[in-house]
Structure 1
Amino acid sequence: MAHSTILAFYLIATGLTYGFNGDSFELECPDECDCHYFRINWVTDCSESNLTEVPYDELSLSVYILDLNGNNITTLKPFPGDIKMRRLQIANNRLTRVDKDAFKGLEYLIDVDLSGNNISYVDPEAFLDARGLLNVELQDNPLTSVEGPFLASSTLQYLDISYCNLSSINTQFFDNITTLTTVDLSGNPLKTLEAGMFDVLTSLETLKLNDCKLTSISENTFASAINIKYLELSGNQLINTDWPEVLGKLLRLEYLNLRKSGLTSLSEDTFSNCTNLVTLILADNELRDLDVATTLGNSVTHLELLDLSNCNIQGPISGETFTNATRLKTLYLSGNPLVAADLQAALEPLPKLEKLFLSHCGLRDLPDNFNVFDNLLELDISHNPLENVFTKLLAPLEKLEYLNMGYSNLSYIGPDTFAKMTSMKRLVLSGNDLLSLEAGLFGNLTQLTTIELEFCGLKRPLNGLAFFKNLTYMDLREIRLGGNPLVIPASGPIFPKQLSQVSILDLSNCNISSLNVDAFKNTENITDLNLGGNRLRSELGSLSFLERLHHLEKINLGSNNLTTIDPEVFTHNPKLHSLNLLDNPFVCDCKIAEMWDWANMIKGDLDVLVGAKSAEKDIVVKGNKKKKNLYCHYNETQLRNMTTMVNKTVPGRRPFAKPRELTFANRTWAKYVRESGCEPVVKILRPVAYVGEIYDYNQATHISTGVTIVAVMALGLGVASVLMTIKLFRRKNVVDADTETNRKVR
């Protein structure tokens, strides 16, 4: 009876743990790929797998997303018939052309990413079978000059052909893709834009022409593209452009970016027809003599954001500068040589201003009329030689929520500096050589949510004297101390009790080699902890400080000196859902497999391990082409002895269909787990872990994880016992019946 019960319990555990390396056995998956569900969609991730061809015969017909980025594929052949693929990612390979046959039959295809290859030719009918095609990415390919229509699609909305070495766009280029709403032509040496180029794109709303070496734009270039709302022309040399004519037809234009476009002057009627303009970016142009008031005129009455950063404006910014832009909410003046007195007069007509950026302006003092800005919420005065003279000038900003005084040559901040800023939520003091903080400095900032003190030369974490002694700062949830040479005490907490509600803590790049077990005794509510870029090692008890962080949800241990890690160290962190272990010198051993199993079965989602599989950011349009993976490495002895193990079939791991040999010492965790020969280890069943997460540290019941686990196991054993009892009872009845029958026969 006992033996049968244990066997039943073991079978349940084995069933739950099948597929521990993160692969589902429901659908086909090529040997060199990692497959999983993303939401309800089947993802086949073959990225960075040294493939020289697409594994057509091993693909599931139900694959939704196929990721082949970062391989050595040179040609494409037709995919299997009836394949249901929606998104194909094959960026950063060695393709030289896109033929029609390669995409024949791909009726369900919505997105295709062919960026970063060596493609010089694209068949105009390549995507003709994809009747629902929406997005095509071809950026960073050396396309040859196109004569006639480029592509044919009746549904295409997004086309990225930036940095494709196109020197011209013929007038028929877009004839068969007239449904486009977004086109990116940035980085092509077009030099000029001729009339008629965009005439058929009557649905076009977003057009990007950044860094195209443009020197001239025809007056009628945008004559028919009257629905354009967002236009980007940054990084060109548009010195002699007739802007009133070029922009004259764009009556619906809301966003215009002319950053770094070689502008030296703008006429007073430049934006005369752009009456719906909301955002205007003129940053990084040599507009030394710009008369802002005349240029803006009366036509930009809807303007809410104006960026004049780094324009080297020499003329005084007078009191009439922004007279016609009274709706301005965001103003960038950073990088211009400003004088406090002139600035004071210029800002007078802007009572609705909410965000003001004045960094890198050479200001030694500030305007003394900040009292007029009743609505000012954000102020950036960073990177100015302020020399500690601004205390009284900032005092009127009682509604200010964000203040950036970073890198302002400050060595001392008076204790009354922020006394009246009781609405402050985010304070940035990074980059000042403060060394220490005055007593009571943050005393009145009771609504403070974020404080940034990065690269301040601090050797001691925040001193309790900077806050009120007997007050817990309930709203202070985020502290950033990255880049400080902190000296961590060998014992006891490193933060005062006033910071007990902090939930986000950044201690990255602080030269930390160890943290004692009570380091976070006073800050046990931390949910997001960044310890990346330090010197933490895989020594006994090196991560014992995690025992107090029962609410921890995210932790970054990337770029440390960890060579191995055991899932046991996270026993006290039931809410953990994001663990970053990237860029550590991990050695390939079975602890890696245990971590994989822990994420997959105990936590129930491989996404817990950052870099274990494709994340959402890796499978979106214009996403990251080069995603980071978790790696470990074999030493030479391991590499010689692993060939036999690689071809061994281990229960619970997806087997390889073909014999393989190891040639690379560095392995992704996903590949190592499959080839390691490490048996799946079940320490806590997944359902038990879920129940533990629900009840662990519950304030109402105080039910511990241990109690919960024991209870669930007891329940499981009880159910198994009942089932076995029923089975034995039925067997007994059958035996009794047989005996009675035999007796009657005799």
Structure 2
Amino acid sequence: MQCLKVFTVLSILLSICLLINAKCVENEKEKNNLECTFDDLKEVNNQRNKDKYRILKIQGLQTKKFDTTLDYPSITRLHITQSRQLEEIEPDVLSNLEALIYLTIDFTKLRIIKEKSFNNLHQLKELNLESNQIKKIERDAFETLSDLIFLDLSHNKLKKLESGIFDNLSNLQKLKLHSNEITQLPTDLLLNLFNLKEFYLSYNKLKTVADDTFKSTPFIQAATYKTSDSPLELIDLSGSNIEKITAKSFLHLPNLKTLDLHQNQIKDIDPKAFVELKNLQTLHLSVNSFGSKINQIDFSNLKKLTKLNLSFCKIKHFDGKTIKALKKLNSFEISFNELKEIPLNMFNYTKHLKELLIAGNQIKLITSSTFDNLKELRTLALDSNQIEDIESGAFLQLKSLIKLNLSRNKLKDIKVGTFDSVHSSGTTSDSVDVTSRLLELNLSFNQISSLNTAAFDPLRNLITLNLVANGIKKIPDNFFRRMTKLQILDLGYNKIKTLPENVFSPLGNSLVELQLSTNEFEYIKAVVFEPLEKLETLNLKKNQLKVLDVETFNLPSLRIVNLHSNRLTYLPPNLLHGDNCIVENFSVYFNRLTFVENAFFENTHLKQFSFGRNPFICKCLDEMINVLKSQRIQYYAQELQGGAPSCVITQNNTCIHDLSNSEEIFKQYNIILQQYPVMCTNPDLC
């Protein structure tokens, strides 16, 4: 009897182990999906009703060799993943999966793709072998996959590709070989890929694009068989250490639309390198080293080019005639080069530009005629230059401009007329409307310490205004008088101490977000915010606020208030009790509070309250947390666990509501606090 009990226990334990080692779970919503975790391949085929499954996922294999023939005749999708021991898949083990359309084998140690690995998979359309350790592909590995459309071999360790390995993939449309270690391509690699449209070869070790690399594309075959030209539309060779582009690097690609050569080490480009790419629409040449040699390139045949990127190329001078033929260009980026000025002829021929990015150069002056021809321009980035002066009327002809970035320059003032934009008013034949159509204006990190109201008057359509870090001390009473559509205003990191009572009155029906962090406010009257009926977010972080008016946050749309890093010692108990107050997220992180009265949390809309790094009296903190729990207000328990001290113990361990000792308690608390790193668990509130 005892032996029987022992045997029974062992049987149960063995059954549990089998369940752990070979666990399969059906998808609750899709009953034809089966997900299995196996240690041993022998268990793979031991499932019941295998005919009903259409999708099979196998993970966690602990074997080095996949040598068990799968017997799931009806599955259309197979995913073998997260099997870190798997190094080899034997030929024909997948040959019974005749209905398979999608096959993924990823995140294994698979090192070689053998011949006949995919035998009998005649319906396979997509094969994903990314993120393995494949070093070799045998020549006939893909021999039977004539219907394959998508092949991904990226993120492996391929150094060399055998000639002819893709010969039978005549229907392939997308080939991904990026993030390998390929140093050279066979000249006949793409010989029979008659339908290939996208070819990804980025982040390899090519160093050069050999002459006639693409000479064996279907374009040549097309001439033989009198069929259409090659359909190849995209080539990505970015990040491949390429140093030189010759006149024959991109021959025989008449339908190419996108060519990506960014982040290489290109120093030399033959002037005729792109002359045959007559249908090219996007050309990425950024992050290279050819410098001002770009002016020698013949772009005359690229009449369909719409996007050109020349950023980070060490260009010191750019001649507008270089892009004279690019009549359809609508996006041009030449940021982070070494341009000291914008040549007068730079945009004489590109009148249809919609986006122009010239950030990160050494430009000091914007003249009144620099952008005169760009009447269709919508986005202009001039940030991170050394601009000291913008002549009046510089943007006058930019009738379509909606986004302007002038941040991180050396501007000290904005002249009247800077943002004027000429439009016909429609009232009389000679009347002029100078209202700007700008929606976003970024002037942050300049030196505009004084604001000229008249200079900003044309900005009647502005939605976002960023004036961060300018050293502004004062906002004129009527500064926003014309900005009645403004929704987002950032005045952070300035030196503002006070705000006129009616300064935000024009923004009452529009402003949604107001950033006033890192200024010098000690007190702000509630009347200042009173007109802002649409305001949802108010950030007063890192000021010197000591006192709050009871009506400060009594606004009908305000939900988020950030008072992090001020000098508050007391929160009025009825601060959030106003008839219109709906504040949900409230942060007083890193202030000088020793207690918060229980009434503060009653009958409010509060959902989240952040209070860490305040010198709370321990008993008061305990009481406050109990109230937070009873009111179901979320707080961040991490602020109370380890790390910085959470509270101060009084002599009698009682909660004392006495403000007279707040400063002294804070000083003692702060001495200890200096030993701990600042840690805020909710960045949105801190």
**TM-score, structure 1 as length reference:** 0.57
Cα distance, 1:382 vs. partner? 1.0
Change (3 A) 1:445 1:149: farther
Deviations 1:39-95 (A, max 9, x none): xx9988888x797789998999657584836x6253364459448666555544433
Equivalent residue number for residue 458 of structure 2: 420
Cα distance, 1:196 vs. partner? 3.1
Query: Counterparts of 2:55 and 2:522 in 1: how far apart (Å)?
Result: 44
Q: Of the candidates 392, 400, 403, which is equivalent to residue 438 of structure 2? A: 400
Cα distance, 1:250 vs. partner? 0.8
Deviations 1:587-628 (A, max 9, x none): 9xxxxxxxxxxxxxxxxxxxxxxxxxxxxxxxxxxxxxxxxx
Contact kept? 1:426, 1:449, Cα under 8 Å: yes
Deviations 1:380-438 (A, max 9, x none): 11111213445652355521112122222445545555333111123333455668866
Q: 2:380 aligned with 1:356, yes or no?
A: yes
Q: How many residues align?
A: 523
Q: Of the candidates 81, 87, 106, which is equivalent to residue 68 of structure 1? A: 81
Contact kept? 1:438, 1:465, Cα under 8 Å: no
Q: 2:140 aligned with 1:141, yes or no?
A: no
Contact kept? 2:179, 2:201, Cα under 8 Å: yes
Equivalent residue number for residue 505 of structure 2: 468
**What percent identity do the matched residue pairs reach?**
18
Cα distance, 1:525 vs. partner? 8.2
Equivalent residue number for residue 687 of structure 1: none
Unaligned 5+ runs, structure 2 = 1-24, 40-52, 219-229, 422-434, 544-550, 561-582, 591-597, 614-627, 642-686
Query: Counterparts of 2:38 and 2:586 in 1: how far apart (Å)?
Result: 30
DSSP-derived class of the 2:356 partner: strand
Cα distance, 1:472 vs. partner? 3.8
Change (3 A) 1:464 1:350: same
Change (3 A) 1:29 1:285: closer
Query: Counterparts of 1:332 and 1:42 in 2: how far apart (Å)?
Result: 50
Q: 2:327 aligned with 1:301, yes or no?
A: yes
Change (3 A) 1:28 1:304: closer
Change (3 A) 1:430 1:140: farther
Equivalent residue number for residue 375 of structure 1: 400
Change (3 A) 1:346 1:524: closer
Equivalent residue number for residue 213 of structure 1: 241
- Higher RCO (CA 8 Å, separation ≥ 6 residues): 1
Q: Of the candidates 175, 178, 190, which is equivalent to residue 194 of structure 2? A: 178
Contact kept? 1:267, 1:295, Cα under 8 Å: yes
Contact kept? 1:108, 1:132, Cα under 8 Å: yes
Change (3 A) 1:140 1:153: same
Query: What is the one-letter code of the residue matched to 2:438?
Result: L
Equivalent residue number for residue 728 of structure 1: none
Change (3 A) 1:147 1:105: closer
Deviations 1:243-265 (A, max 9, x none): 22x21111111111111221132
Change (3 A) 1:216 1:458: same
Cα distance, 1:167 vs. partner? 0.5
Query: Counterparts of 1:163 and 1:390 in 2: how far apart (Å)?
Result: 51
Query: What is the one-letter code of the residue matched to 1:327?
Result: H
Structure 1 residues 61-100: aligned runs within 5 Å: 66=79, 68=81, 72-75=84-87, 77=89, 78=93, 81-82=96-97, 90-99=105-114
Decide which moves more: 225-234 or 412-421: 412-421
Greater strand content: 2
Query: Counterparts of 1:334 and 1:25 in 2: how far apart (Å)?
Result: 51
Query: Counterparts of 1:128 and 1:340 in 2: how far apart (Å)?
Result: 63
Structure 1 residues 159-558: aligned runs within 5 Å: 159-199=175-215, 200-201=217-218, 202-244=230-272, 246-263=273-290, 264-267=292-295, 270-290=298-318, 292-297=319-324, 299-314=325-340, 316-340=341-365, 343-369=367-393, 370-390=395-415, 392-396=417-421, 398-411=436-449, 413=451, 418-430=456-468, 432=470, 439=477, 441-452=479-490, 456=493, 466-468=503-505, 472-474=508-510, 476-477=511-512, 479=513, 496=529, 498-501=531-534, 522=555, 524=557, 548=605
Query: Counterparts of 1:585 and 1:21 in 2: how far apart (Å)?
Result: 41
Contact kept? 2:73, 2:97, Cα under 8 Å: no
Equivalent residue number for residue 670 of structure 2: none
Deviations 1:417-475 (A, max 9, x none): 5333111123333455668866554453222344456x637999999854217x6424x
**TM-score, structure 2 as length reference:** 0.61
DSSP-derived class of the 1:266 partner: helix
Query: Counterparts of 1:22 and 1:429 in 2: how far apart (Å)?
Result: 53
Equivalent residue number for residue 660 of structure 2: none
Equivalent residue number for residue 118 of structure 1: 133
Query: Counterparts of 1:67 and 1:502 in 2: how far apart (Å)?
Result: 51
Query: Counterparts of 1:498 and 1:59 in 2: how far apart (Å)?
Result: 69
Query: Counterparts of 1:230 and 1:191 in 2: how far apart (Å)?
Result: 20
DSSP-derived class of the 1:294 partner: helix
Contact kept? 1:524, 1:548, Cα under 8 Å: no
Decide which moves more: 210-219 or 377-386: 210-219
DSSP-derived class of the 2:332 partner: strand
Query: What is the one-letter code of the residue matched to 1:310?
Result: F
DSSP-derived class of the 1:372 partner: coil
Contact kept? 1:385, 1:408, Cα under 8 Å: yes
Contact kept? 2:36, 2:57, Cα under 8 Å: no
Structure whose alpha-carbon radius of gyration is higher: 2
Change (3 A) 1:112 1:456: farther
Change (3 A) 1:191 1:81: same
Contact kept? 2:408, 2:444, Cα under 8 Å: yes
